[in-house]
Amino acid sequence: MEQAHTSPVWRTETDSMGRVNVPLHALHGAQTQRALDNFRIGGEAMPERLIRALLLIKAAAAAANVQLGALPAAVGTAIGAACHELLTAPGLMSHFPVDVFQTGSGTSTNMNANEVLATLAARRLGEAVSANDHVNASQSSNDVLPSAIHVSAALTLERELLPALAHLASVTRDKATGLRGEVKTGRTHLMDAMPVRLDQVAGGWAAQVEQAAARLVALQPALQRLAQGGTAVGTGVNAPEGFAAHFHAELSAATGLAFAPAEDYFAAMGAQDTAVALSGALRGCAVALLKIANDLRWMNSGPLAGLGEIELPALQPGSSIMPGKVNPVIPEAVAMAAVQVVGNDAAIAMAGASGNFELNVMLPLIARNLLHSLVLLANASRALADQAMAGLTVNSARVAEMLSRNPVLATALNPLIGYARSAEIAKRAYREGRPILDVADEMTDLGRERLATLLDPLRLTGAAR
């Protein structure tokens, strides 16, 4: 139903469906306003990183269209200038309020950008600029939104997450270097096991982070392949010959990343397999961070009734009722972020399965969750590095005392006296609460000096052999 102009704070715009009232000073037009009226579901606008990628795409498309004669030079230049204005001016997101939960192709967000850019370009040019015929020339929401997902994710991965993971790995390896002489009781099944050095533990954490980063790096080439040029259904209809090549050259120059056309537009538009694969790798990264966070929480537990092996930086009071209580707040926050990433991945997997013929119809949800996961992991990695790992200290006396009473050290005697005899020594040492060295000295004829060498925890970690 057409809306009537009823107030001086509104203006009337017209689209293919008729008239609609738009706020007087808004840069957007009728189609954006219809989306705002229709989609009041999540109360969350599309991510700013997605909008910025969308504007980069619009600028590159305008430049490519000018080069190919599909747009007048003055119009294309005005559109490009409007993109630059939005990307550099404050308050960008005030012009892009459309809900994440909208039409599944993201058409409302694409038209939001088209209308805002048309308004700004027209002001510069002094004549009308069409949101559809000019700003959207050689494009469709169906190739723009999949491309914007890839571009925004590629830029966030390259500029935020990978540097954050590298920082966490570096801080953790630096910490490991200073812990080489610290030997602690290892644990399997949460039960005492053979000793390990703390530099080995921290090295394992660093390796997890590095391996997670490597899996993400392996996806970068696919992520930098874009659907742009496929237009409505993958056939390239209404895009002039050479558009894709010119577009990707412009976008690559603007971003510093080497973007290229998708190997198959039908796969790039009908499915979101690369986004699903990236989300899976992000889930793997989240699982690694969750493991590290939980190790830190367990080792920090106490200070009296827990393991008490390390102390994390005291950042804030831990209780509103128990004075002096301090909690491992950063590992807890990182653990929650990791769990959220796993949840985001589950939603992306379901959304990725929602490709119907030539188009996936959950693009806004994929964009939102993918970028949310990238940013969460980047921020969590830096917090874990700077507010937990860097300030970690070892309770050396407690670690050494617990290690000296570890009956599992008897494992080192298996080759000389057998598993059964070693088990008897371990059980007696545990039962009597005595050091394994003393009990082994009483129950074998190996001699105390030799036993001290055999049961040396540092030697058993692979050092000083």
Catalytic residue among 5, 84, 94, 319: 319
Q: Is 319 a catalytic residue?
A: yes
Q: Is 105 a catalytic residue?
A: no
CA distances from 22 to 12, 44, 208, 236, 371 (A): 6, 20, 52, 33, 30
463 token code pair: 């050092």
Catalytic residue among 189, 248, 279, 301: 189
Q: Tell me the CA end-to-end span of the chain in Å, nearest whole number.
A: 84
Active-site residues, by number, are 189, 319
